[in-house]
Amino acid sequence: MNERTNKKTVRKDELKANLDFINTHWDIQSTPTIIDNKISLKQGLLFKFQNLFYSRFIRHIDLIADQQAIFNSFVSQALTQFNDQIAQNNENVSQTLTPFNDQITQTDEKVSQTLTLFNDQIAQTDEKVSQALTQFNDQIAQTDEKVSRETKNLSDRIITIENELIGEKNQLSQDVQSFKDRWSEAITTLQHRTLAVEITEQANLDNLCQRIREVDSQINSLIRSINEIDSALKPRISMNLAGMPIPKKDRFNYLEFEEVFRGSEDLIKERQRQYIPYFKGRKKVIDLGSGRGEFLVLLNEEGIQGIGVDCDQDMILRSREKGLNVIQQDILEYLEEVPDKSLDGIFSAQVVEHLPFEKLDLFFKRSYAKLENDGILIVETVNTYNFSAFRCFYMDPTHQKPLFPELISYMCRASGFDTIEVKFIPTDLHTQHTNISDPDDQWTCGDYAVIAKKIKDHI
């Protein structure tokens, strides 16, 4: 490639040099001498003089002729080289155009084939469009025909309905008028009957008043009989009460009170057995207000370490007779002395209803503080939604006021407990224990329990 480029450069340089030479020496003129034989002597002398002049200057003319020959030679070489260059350029152009012409030919052929296919597709599309338009026009014609028929039928139907409505309107007008006439007659008849009924009702009212007076007399007689029966029964009731254990004179014996009004220890023990699964696997459980120790006995049977706390001396003595671990102390004072996070379970049955609100608030807050993470608190009390349970509630003179499960749940949550569950506890041991979601349990069960868990510290 470089060799061809160098040759082209040399040719261009030679051509340029020859052209420069031609342009420099092109203005050379040599005037030819014309000799005529038919001349005079004077002219002959002149001719000789010219020849003499020519002979002397011929060498100068030859020099010019030689230069002209050299110039012509350079011109000839330059034209030859120029022609060769033109021929070479034509050959190069021809070689360059040949592939391009082939590509153009191929492109023309492809374009021709593409146009042929495109024209075929257009022809097919035109045929399909023509068929579709034909079908569409046929459908439009059919639809127009159906619409025309339906419109005619509808018009006929409207005319028929209008005629029927006119007839019904006339009939209705006649019926209304007939109803008005009958209504007027009924009103008149009713007025006469009302007058007769008023007279009859007045007589019935008098009879009713007389009957009421008779019933009132009977009720008064019944009340007198009840009072007589009450007077007769009072001595017997007093005798039965006299047979009950008499509390000690120096204090109220709550132990004997529970045995009379709450139930036997075996009954309470069976009711509280359902709470044991919540405390399985726990190492230190406290029963606040342990009473006669029913729940502590259940814990011992399951191998769970339990401690009872109660302020009543008789309750403590009864528990110690059973060999239970109990402490006589106020439950709030005990909670205050216990180290934080030292307990993993707290149980308290029928205790919170004895506390005034200020101590109730401290009860939940201190219980939360003394429980370790994952600790559990179970509080049982009287179900305030059961009306019959109010009899038991107000039977105990140490009760403060009824506590609703919503309040206990709120106080647990406000104290920091994470999960809270409410269960209504039936007094019938054969009844299955259910959750608060059952509305029947809410109104029929005698007790309820709140189960609160401490997942982690919040305060």
Question: pLDDT digit string (tens) for 251-291?
Answer: 566 556 565 556 678 888 898 999 999 999 999 999 999 98
- 328 found inside a domain: yes
The answer to whether residues 318 and 169 belong to one domain is: no
Domain end (from 177, 207, 228): 177
Which tens digit of pLDDT belongs to each residue from 210-245?
Answer: 766 675 566 556 555 655 554 555 444 444 433 444
Mean of pLDDT over the chain: 77
Predicted confidence at residue 433, as pLDDT, reads 42
The answer to whether residues 136 and 264 belong to one domain is: no
The answer to whether residues 146 and 274 belong to one domain is: no
- 194 found inside a domain: no
The answer to whether residues 116 and 259 belong to one domain is: no
- pLDDT surpasses 70 at 29: no
CATH number at residue 338: 3.40.50.150
> Which residues lie below 8 Å from residue 285, measured CB to CB, with a gap of 6+?
279, 299, 304, 305, 306, 307, 343, 344, 345, 346, 347
Predicted confidence at residue 254, as pLDDT, reads 54
Residue 73 host element (H or E): helix 41-242
The answer to whether residues 169 and 53 belong to one domain is: yes
Predicted confidence at residue 112, as pLDDT, reads 86
- pLDDT surpasses 90 at 360: yes
- pLDDT surpasses 50 at 108: yes
Candidate from 138-142, 158-162, 225-229, 438-442 with smallest mean pLDDT = 225-229
Predicted confidence at residue 241, as pLDDT, reads 39
The answer to whether residues 172 and 259 belong to one domain is: no
The answer to whether residues 258 and 148 belong to one domain is: no
pLDDT band at 83 (very low <50, low <70, confident <90, very high): confident
- 102 found inside a domain: yes
- 185 found inside a domain: no
As given in the structure block, the two tokens for residue 49 are 């003089």
The answer to whether residues 173 and 260 belong to one domain is: no
Predicted confidence at residue 361, as pLDDT, reads 93
The total number of structural domains in the chain stands at 2
- 129 found inside a domain: yes
Predicted confidence at residue 312, as pLDDT, reads 87
Share of the chain above pLDDT 70, in %: 68
- 307 found inside a domain: yes
Domain end (from 142, 177, 212): 177
- 208 found inside a domain: no
Find the domain containing 73 and state its range: 14-177
Domain end (from 114, 144, 177): 177
Which residues pair with residue 450 across a beta bridge? 379, 422
The answer to whether residues 29 and 154 belong to one domain is: yes
- pLDDT surpasses 90 at 101: no
Residue 412, burial from CB neighbour count under 10 angstroms (0-12, 13-18, 19+): buried
pLDDT band at 129 (very low <50, low <70, confident <90, very high): confident
Mean pLDDT of 362-389: 90
The DSSP 8-state label assigned to residue 425 in this structure reads: E
In contact, 420 and 364? CB cutoff 8 Å: no
- pLDDT surpasses 90 at 22: no
pLDDT band at 387 (very low <50, low <70, confident <90, very high): confident
Which tens digit of pLDDT belongs to each residue from 117-128?
Answer: 888 888 898 889
CA 209 vs CA 117, 214, 223: distances in Å: 113, 9, 21
- 168 found inside a domain: yes
- pLDDT surpasses 50 at 407: yes
Predicted confidence at residue 78, as pLDDT, reads 80
Predicted confidence at residue 339, as pLDDT, reads 94
**How many residues are present in the chain?**
459
The answer to whether residues 319 and 438 belong to one domain is: yes
Task: Please give, one letter per residue, the 3-state secondary structure of 159-203.
Answer: HHHHHHHHHHHHHHHHHHHHHHHHHHHHHHHHHHHHHHHHHHHHH
Which tens digit of pLDDT belongs to each residue from 324-347?
Answer: 999 999 999 999 999 999 999 999
The answer to whether residues 287 and 412 belong to one domain is: yes
| Backbone CA torsion sign across 167, 171, 176, 181 | positive
Mean pLDDT of 435-449: 68
> Which residues lie below 8 Å from residue 338, measured CB to CB, with a gap of 6+?
286, 370
